[in-house]
Amino acid sequence: MYFEEELSKKVIRISESQIPKRLRGSRSIFLRKIARFGINFSGWTIKGEVPDEERIVIIAAPHTSNWDFILAMLAIFGLNIKLRWLGKHSIFKPGFKSIFNWLGGIPVYRDNPSTLIENVVEIVKKEKSIVIAMTPEGTRKKVKRWKTGFLRIAKQTQSKILLISIDAPTKSIGIGKIFNPTGDNEEDLVFIQNYYKSFTGIKPQKS
């Protein structure tokens, strides 16, 4: 069985009720309200609820636009989820590095992926409950084959994999299903990429 029971797709007002207590952050009420206003004003909705699991690796796709990052930050702050995310090291420039670190960012050096996995494993070990998020494409460009780093990270940290979709036509962020890896990374990758084919990114030509 690839998927656990599908989560609710009911659209509700953005709130902490979509996040289990042990995975909630400690952001101020002011920041949470600003983020929720931003999501509501943009016309986007967030469907579903994050399952109550101790460790979760989130993959969000399709990633086609810089706007994805803004939507993600609004969602993270609005839901008040305790989350760390992976981003390419080039965005962690002087002047921005401290901001991205505060936002929960972890730089990815693509020339040394093994070090990244080791760093993430160490971060997870320090936290009793944690969510790690990433984009499996590794780029905003259209790619045929996604990277398997998220599968390796999930295995080494004994985390559940949560599939989150970005669907521009419906302006919705979908908190989807828990995926249970089979141990065959290639087979799992094909299955997951097929799952995301029903969603269209902000820039559809890159989906």
Architecture of domain 28-206: 3-Layer(aba) Sandwich (3.40)
User: For residue 9, which of 202, 135, 170 has the smallest C-alpha distance?
Assistant: 170
Tens of pLDDT, residues 38-79: 999 999 999 999 999 999 999 999 999 989 999 999 999 999
Q: How confident is the model at residue 7 (pLDDT cuts 50, 70, 90)?
A: very low
Tens of pLDDT, residues 137-169: 877 677 778 888 899 889 888 899 999 999 999
Burial class (CB in 10 A: 0-12, 13-18, 19+), 188: buried
